[in-house]
Amino acid sequence: MKNYINGQWKETTGTSQITVINPGSEEELIRYTAASPQDVDAAVSAARQALESWSLTTSEQRANWLNKIADAIEAAKTRLTELSHHNNGKSSEQALVDVDNSIKCYRYYANLVKNFAFSQVTQCEDGTELTHQQNPVGVVALITPWNFPLITSAWKIAPALAAGCTLVFKPSELVPLPEYEFTRLLDQIRFPQGVFNLILGDAEAAQHLVKHEDVNKVSFTGSTEVGIHVMQAAACSVKRVTLELGGKSPIIILEDADLDEAVDKALGGMFYNSGQMCSATSRLLVHQSIAEGFYQKFKVAVESITLGSDLKGPFSMGPMTTQKQFHKVHEYLNIAQDEQLKSLIDLDQIHLPEKGFFIKPHVFVDVSPESRLWKEEIFGPVICCRSFEDEDEAVRLANDSEFGLAATIITGSLQHGKKIAKRLRSGHIWINSHQMIQPGSLWGGFKKSGIGRELGQSGMQSYLEENVITI
Q: Answer yes or no: are the C-beta atoms of 336 and 360 closer than 8 Å.
A: no
The b/e string for 271-309 (b: 16+ C-beta within 10 A; e otherwise) is bbbbbbbbbbbbbbbbbeebbeebbeebbebbbebebbb
Average pLDDT over residues 456-470: 96
Give 223 or 310, the one with higher predicted confidence. Answer: 223
Q: In the chain, pLDDT over 70 holds for what percent of residues?
A: 100
With bands split at pLDDT 50, 70 and 90, how would you rate the model's confidence at 456? very high
Reported as a single tens digit per residue, the pLDDT across 165-217 is 999 999 999 999 999 999 999 999 999 999 999 999 999 999 999 999 999 99
Average pLDDT over residues 40-62: 98
- Picking from 130-139, 204-213, 309-318, which range would have the lowest pLDDT averaged per residue? 309-318
pLDDT the model gives residue 12: 95
pLDDT the model gives residue 175: 97
> Among the options 173, 179, 181, 244, which is catalytic?
244
With bands split at pLDDT 50, 70 and 90, how would you rate the model's confidence at 311? confident
Query: Which CATH architecture best describes the domain 250-438?
Result: 3-Layer(aba) Sandwich (3.40)
With bands split at pLDDT 50, 70 and 90, how would you rate the model's confidence at 55? very high
Asked whether the predicted pLDDT for residue 313 surpasses 90, the reply is no
- Please report which residue ranges of 236-378 form alpha helices under DSSP H: 259-271, 291-303, 323-338, 372-375
The CA distance from 7 to 183, in Å, is 10
Reported as a single tens digit per residue, the pLDDT across 361-387 is 999 999 999 999 999 999 999 999 999
CB neighbours of 114 closer than 8 A, spacing ≥ 6? 59, 60, 63
The domain defined by 3-245+449-470 folds into Aldehyde Dehydrogenase; Chain A, domain 1 (3.40.605)
Asked whether the predicted pLDDT for residue 312 surpasses 90, the reply is no
The b/e string for 339-355 (b: 16+ C-beta within 10 A; e otherwise) is bebeebbeeeebeeeee
Q: Answer yes or no: are the C-beta atoms of 389 and 397 closer than 8 Å.
A: no
Q: Where are the domains of the chain?
A: 3-245+449-470, 250-438
> Among the options 105, 278, 384, 385, which is catalytic?
278
Q: Which of 316, 300, 311, 411 is nearest to 360 (CA)?
A: 316
Asked whether the predicted pLDDT for residue 95 surpasses 90, the reply is yes
For strands 403-404 and 446-447, give the pairing: antiparallel
* Mean pLDDT taken over the chain: 97
pLDDT the model gives residue 182: 98
pLDDT the model gives residue 462: 97
The CA distance from 227 to 66, in Å, is 29
Average pLDDT over residues 29-38: 97
The distance from CA 466 to its chain's CA centroid, rounded to whole angstroms, is 27
pLDDT the model gives residue 165: 98
17 beta partners? 33
With bands split at pLDDT 50, 70 and 90, how would you rate the model's confidence at 147? very high
Catalytic status, residue 391: no
Catalytic status, residue 278: yes
Name the pTM for this structure.
0.96
- Residue 444's region, left for phi above 0, alpha for psi from -120 to 50, else beta, is left
Reported as a single tens digit per residue, the pLDDT across 326-344 is 999 999 999 999 999 999 9
Reported as a single tens digit per residue, the pLDDT across 244-301 is 999 999 999 999 999 999 999 999 999 999 999 999 999 999 999 999 999 999 999 9
Residue 223 DSSP SS3: coil
Asked whether the predicted pLDDT for residue 315 surpasses 90, the reply is no
